[in-house]
Structure 1
Amino acid sequence: MRCAESIGELSRCVRLKVGAIIVKDGNIISMGYNGTPKGFENACEFELETIDETTGDKNVVLKTKEEVLHAEANAITKAAKSTYSTEGASIYCTDSCCFGCAKLIVQAGIKKFYYKREYRDTSGLDLLRKAGIEVVRVEY
């Protein structure tokens, strides 16, 4: 898990840095972090100015750009471009997965999902369990 955390630090995202590694037969076969696709500006968020309706105060909040890829998706697509198969592999991710990434994990044939921090929406974890994937929360 510490390796996934280190990979996550490479992310240029300000709000949340997420890292993922895929392990098979004791070897790291792929890794990824949340960020923009190749060829895009490497900035994950944009500033959105809002106005508080009660006070009239202006606030600036960071919003994630739609094109940002999640760490799990980055790791899976990198593995798909390599000679390694993810069938039967494990994935270690700093955060629990969203529903979209859970679908990719199922399709990639990954059998175990390890994570540290749980996201408020657990539908991704629910899908993994429904697909028979072992889900393990790592605490240290």
Structure 2
Amino acid sequence: MADKKSPDENNVNRMSKTEYYLAIALVVSKRSTCLKRRYGAVIVNNDEIISTGYNGNPRGDENCCDRGNCKRMDLPSNSGNYNDCFSVHAEQNAMISASRNEMLGSTIYLAGEKYDDG
């Protein structure tokens, strides 16, 4: 008797659930207001999307993309000095939009890319 394959393994043209949720997170990242890096997060529980979030300034604050500049643009990534950055992480924004009960046992998918204005 042959080993049973998961439904995703039977169809080689179908992306895996991990690839699917990461692709959604990458699309969510397109809403980022950061001029240096775009990140998107998707929280999934029981194969259901609970919440999404992207990085950027808190609601009501002026965004770097609205100002047209970023104080950290020319600083190296992971320099350790984030005093001039007021952005909230994508995963933080996703978490504050979901309830604790929804998040228990969930998985968070995070995708990002360097900002490209062209």
2:103 matched to 1:86?
yes
Counterparts of 2:90 and 2:41 in 1: how far apart (Å)? 5
Counterparts of 1:84 and 1:8 in 2: how far apart (Å)? 25
TM-superposed CA distance for 1:62, in Å, is 6.1
1:18 to 26, 30, 39: 39
Counterparts of 1:77 and 1:69 in 2: how far apart (Å)? 11
Q: Using structure 2 for the length normalisation, give the TM-score.
A: 0.60
> Would you say how many aligned residue pairs link Structure 1 and Structure 2?
83
Q: CA RMSD in A?
A: 2.7
Q: Any gaps of 5 or more consecutive residues in structure 1?
A: 49-59, 96-116, 118-140
Q: Using structure 1 for the length normalisation, give the TM-score.
A: 0.51
TM-superposed CA distance for 1:22, in Å, is 0.1
CA contact (8 A) 1:30 1:75 kept: yes
Where do 4+ consecutive residues of structure 1 move more than 2 Å?
44-48, 60-66
CA contact (8 A) 2:41 2:108 kept: yes
Q: Any gaps of 5 or more consecutive residues in structure 2?
A: 1-21, 77-81, 114-118
CA contact (8 A) 1:29 1:84 kept: no
Higher relative contact order structure (alpha carbons within 8 Å, sequence separation ≥ 6): 2
Q: What is the CA deviation profile of residues 101-124 of structure 1, one whole-angstrom value per residue up to 9, with x for unaligned ones?
A: xxxxxxxxxxxxxxxx8xxxxxxx
Counterparts of 1:41 and 1:89 in 2: how far apart (Å)? 32
Identity of aligned residues (%): 35
CA contact (8 A) 1:36 1:42 kept: yes
Normalized per residue, the structure richer in strand is: 1
CA contact (8 A) 1:11 1:35 kept: yes
